[in-house]
């Protein structure tokens, strides 16, 4: 009961101190507000993005590998000499992987034509025109290997379409919205790079990562029709999906060994192909966010340091102004512990108020970011709210200890004589 009364008394004194020194308190906590706001807002944005990235990796296919001749991120127009001399992948290589590896569910080739390769595409229907999309030649198994290419209306490319090189196309939802705003696109004739095609399907809506090129901006045609129209594009890729009951690490090693055997590479020779999997994106994202968190930590630490020094300075002034009060409390029986606890409590209340304001500001920033940029789903978690409280209170405890200890060690007789 006595301890509860002491806590309540310290709390009342701290509140009264903040109330009577509003301007000084506000200026003191400004650095803490800035530091906590930056930590909370950046953490909220990164948390939301992490969930978004994981969701995108799942939609791409967490058990999917892409085999290519050119490493991911290499400029296809100007690859290094070592990459340029690699042998091209062949359609028969995909069939070999399908037959040789029991862990493989699908192994299907595809090829792309896009602006990233220096090629321009356009698709027309009447007066409507769409440019800047990815044209892909694919086989029927692509829809099974890559979950993103699920069809919402119509159908996907069939084996018969591939065998007869039919001029049919499956279009993304974004392209369908532009070309056919008020009509059903299925069965409609379009001009794809000047050649007539019939629309046989529309993909499920997929805007892409951060508003980039998702399936909404894809047109898929039969693989044979693609190479018949664009024989100059020799690079192809394999989408290799792994069965659910297979170990991913083992399956990847088996895939690499199978490709080396297929391409007759000697044991001491490097791979002349690359295997890309979605975890690469997750690892790359972790590296980027790690650097961002480090930078934010440095910036927020500066704000917290400035705020902490301000708290220490204010508390030292408070000790000087309340010297007589300290002497009176000691003369009436207060111990060093009580004096130290009182001033520490005030310092933590001061920094805690800054932390609370910082958390509120961080939450507002996260809400604004999420509202203005839906592709950046900033979300404030309970963990980071707790971290904001802990950081702010910890700053008050650390920087408030010296003034509190100084107040506790004052001589009561000297204090009572102080004017």
Asked if 52 and 84 sit in the same domain, the reply is no
Asked if 120 and 206 sit in the same domain, the reply is yes
Query: What is the pTM (predicted TM-score) of this model?
Result: 0.67
Measuring CA to CA, which residue among 404, 416, 418 is closest to residue 10?
A: 404
Asked if 194 and 300 sit in the same domain, the reply is no
Picking from 277, 300, 322, the residue at the C-terminal end of a domain is: 277
Asked if 267 and 364 sit in the same domain, the reply is no
pLDDT, one tens digit for every residue, the chain (419 residues) = 444 445 555 556 656 666 666 666 666 777 788 888 888 888 888 777 777 766 666 655 568 888 988 887 666 566 677 777 888 899 999 999 999 899 998 999 999 998 766 678 999 998 899 988 999 999 999 988 888 888 999 999 999 999 999 999 999 999 999 999 989 999 999 999 999 999 999 999 887 665 556 888 999 999 999 999 999 888 899 999 888 888 888 888 999 899 999 988 888 888 888 888 766 656 656 666 666 667 767 777 777 777 788 778 877 877 777 778 777 777 777 777 777 877 788 788 888 888 888 888 888 888 888 888 776 777 777 887 888 888 888 888 888 888 888 877 877 676 666 55
Asked if 130 and 260 sit in the same domain, the reply is yes
CA geometry: angle at 31 spanning 30 and 34, to 5°? 85
Backbone angles phi, psi at 138, to 5 degrees: -145, 165
Total domains, the chain: 2
E-strand spans in 48-193? Answer: 64-68, 104-113, 122-125, 128-131, 134-138, 151-154, 168-171, 189-192
Q: Give dist(CA 234, CA 231) in Å, integer.
A: 7
Asked if 303 and 357 sit in the same domain, the reply is yes
Picking from 277, 299, 324, the residue at the C-terminal end of a domain is: 277
Q: Are 25 and 314 in contact (CB under 8 A)?
A: yes
Asked if 134 and 270 sit in the same domain, the reply is yes
Q: Are 415 and 330 in contact (CB under 8 A)?
A: yes
Backbone angles phi, psi at 174, to 5 degrees: -65, -40
Asked if 123 and 190 sit in the same domain, the reply is yes
Asked if 307 and 367 sit in the same domain, the reply is yes
Q: Around Cβ 83, how many Cβ atoms within 10 Å?
A: 16
* Residues facing 197 on adjacent strands: 190
Measuring CA to CA, which residue among 286, 316, 328 is closest to residue 57?
A: 286
Asked if 179 and 298 sit in the same domain, the reply is no
- The count of residues in the chain is 419
pLDDT of residue 219: 94
Range of the domain at 71: 63-277
Picking from 254, 277, 300, the residue at the C-terminal end of a domain is: 277
Asked if 258 and 166 sit in the same domain, the reply is yes
Asked if 193 and 141 sit in the same domain, the reply is yes
């Amino acid at each position: 009961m006595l301890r509860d009364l002491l806590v309540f008394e310290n709390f009342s004194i701290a509140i009264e101190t903040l109330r009577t020194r509003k301007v000084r308190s506000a200026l003191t906590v400004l650095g803490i507000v800035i530091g906590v706001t930056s930590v909370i807002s950046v953490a909220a944005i990164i948390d939301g993005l992490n969930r978004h990235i994981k969701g995108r990796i799942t939609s791409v296919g967490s058990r999917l590998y892409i085999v290519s001749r050119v490493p991911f991120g290499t400029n296809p127009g100007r690859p290094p000499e070592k990459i340029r001399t690699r042998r091209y992948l062949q359609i028969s290589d995909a069939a070999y992987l399908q037959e040789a590896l029991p862990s493989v569910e699908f192994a299907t080739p595809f090829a792309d034509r896009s602006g990233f390769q220096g090629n321009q595409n356009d698709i027309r229907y009447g007066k409507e025109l769409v440019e800047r999309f990815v044209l892909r030649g694919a086989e029927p198994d692509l829809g099974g290997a890559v979950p993103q290419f699920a069809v919402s209306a119509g159908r996907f490319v069939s084996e018969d379409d591939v065998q007869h090189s039919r001029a049919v196309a499956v279009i993304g939802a974004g392209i369908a919205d532009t070309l056919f705003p008020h009509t059903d696109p299925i069965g409609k004739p379009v001009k794809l790079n000047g050649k007539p095609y019939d629309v046989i399907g529309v993909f499920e809506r997929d805007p892409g990562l951060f508003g980039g090129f998702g399936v909404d901006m894809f047109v898929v045609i039969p693989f044979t029709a693609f190479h018949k129209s664009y024989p100059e594009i020799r690079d192809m890729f394999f989408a290799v999906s792994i069965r659910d009951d297979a170990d991913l690490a083992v399956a990847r090693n088996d895939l690499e060994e199978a490709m080396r055997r297929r391409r007759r590479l000697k044991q001491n020779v490097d791979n002349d192909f690359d295997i890309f999997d979605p975890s690469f994106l997750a690892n790359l994202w972790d590296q980027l966010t790690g650097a961002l968190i480090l930078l934010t930590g440095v910036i927020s630490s500066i704000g917290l340091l400035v705020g902490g020094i301000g708290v220490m300075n204010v508390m030292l002034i408070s000790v000087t102004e309340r010297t007589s009060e300290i002497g009176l409390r000691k003369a009436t029986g207060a111990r060093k512990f009580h004096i130290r606890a009182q001033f520490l409590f005030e310092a933590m209340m001061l920094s805690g108020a800054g932390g609370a304001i910082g958390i509120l500001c961080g939450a507002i920033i996260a809400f604004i970011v999420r509202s203005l940029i839906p592709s950046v789903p900033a979300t404030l978690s309970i963990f980071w709210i707790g971290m904001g409280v802990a950081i702010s209170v910890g700053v008050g405890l650390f920087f408030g200890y010296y003034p509190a200890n100084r107040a506790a060690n004052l001589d009561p007789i000297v204090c009572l004589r102080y004017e």
